[in-house]
Structure 1
Amino acid sequence: MDFVSVGLASPPPRRPTEAKGSATTTSSLPPLQTTSDISPSPRKHDKSRPIQVSSWPLTFAPGSPRRIPTDSIDHDAFSPISPKVQKLHTRTRLLDDSRTRPALLQELLDYLHTELDGERESRKPSLRRLQIVREALNRLIDGFSAYAPVLLQIRDEYERAVEDLHARNLMIPGLQTRLQSLETHCLQQLSAYSAEAKARSLVLKKRLAETQALLAASTAENARLTAALRSKKDNATKAESNLTDVQRSTLTLSE
């Protein structure tokens, strides 16, 4: 099966030539050959020299980013994306990376890097760092006047929050001093109450010992008196019995 080169059916229309003084230049593209000039290539078994195909030169518009050739970029052979799509994605990524940053963005980044470079070791929030960031935000608001109302509202909200936190932070030393004085007063009162309670405890313990001794003496005296009373009762009972016997004897003798 023979392969035949296919060309245009008819030559493309040529542009009319203009005068040399005209501002428009003629096209520098080579003319295309007609089908009559192209002869079918016979099939040969030997290795023929590859045909060199001349391509049209690519020209870019003024001001467009310079395109980087992607023929030398290595692609993953196991990627499911076709090589053509891979080249397109790579070209887009390279173009995005080659674009320069806006002047305002670069200026703000340089400003923050210069001002905050000395404090990178300690990222502890401070009024100086806050003032630097506030200045950068004000420059950003001045550069984007269309978004100034929204940016100003956001800045004011953060400013009020920072002022409130700063005011509370200023109150902390006074509150700490007051808390320390209150703690000292409470400790003094607690020490006084503890000493007073200890003294009263000693007095109560002494009174308790005295009361216990008095109670023991009273108990012993009560036991002694109870025994004496029992003895007296026994003696009285015996005396009554003797009296009864005497009375009976007297009655018997009187009869």
Structure 2
Amino acid sequence: MAAGDLMVVVAERPSTLQITVRANAASGSLQAKLQIEPLNHVSVQQSATQDGDARPSLQRSMAATVPPEDLLLMAHVARRGDVFQKLGDWIGGPDAPAPIEGLQFTGSFIDGLFVEQRVLIAGDAQWTPWRPGHEFAGSRGHARSLTGFHVRLTGPLASRYRLAVEALFLGTTVIRKSGANLEFRSGAGIDPLIGVKIKLESIALRSRSVGPAAEESAMPKSALSTLNHERTRSGVRVFRASRDRVSTSA
């Protein structure tokens, strides 16, 4: 680079930048003035001051990214055609069951995060090949419903997200699973999929929203009010039921 040149560096993941100065000639000078200006709103110095290290701050920032609002789930539904819903909403389901013949994701994906899927089609013994989420998996115009589907997250950011999926097959109750690699099949192997709901969640956001206070609140306040507690030297709280609240039977 010559004097006065500018360079923009874009980091897709937490990284370090190493700069080396070399003379143009054997007797050249190594004196150089280099100015680095961060283009983001929060400077590296601010991140380091707040979090102790800029790299963990960047990782937390990336993990907190929420799915784009235009990311939709599309299902090809018998007698209805292609039905689009935002992530987290039912297509079919308990209130409007209908045979589903294919699945596809549409809209924007998060950089570094990918969804793949494969399906079981009625009458076939084998899964279809894995396909990217934005490609259709299933059948059209053949009245062949899905009897199973399998979705998974891949890519550098896959460990920072999870899928929360609910599926309903004919003659069964709703099946709920969460994780990065989820498979659903009808119990008998022939019952059609009649409802599906898929949600993409940030693990970092969920872990911050569930803390000690949330865990305690899972116990009814009325129950907590009947307990006396004390803190031991080790910091563990011991709960004892009040004697006047304990009933015995002969």
TM-score band, normalised by the shorter chain?
A: under 0.3
TM-score, structure 2 as length reference: 0.19
| Greater RCO, 1 or 2 (C-alpha within 8 Å, sep 6+) | 2
Bigger share in strand:
2
Rg larger in 1 or in 2? 1
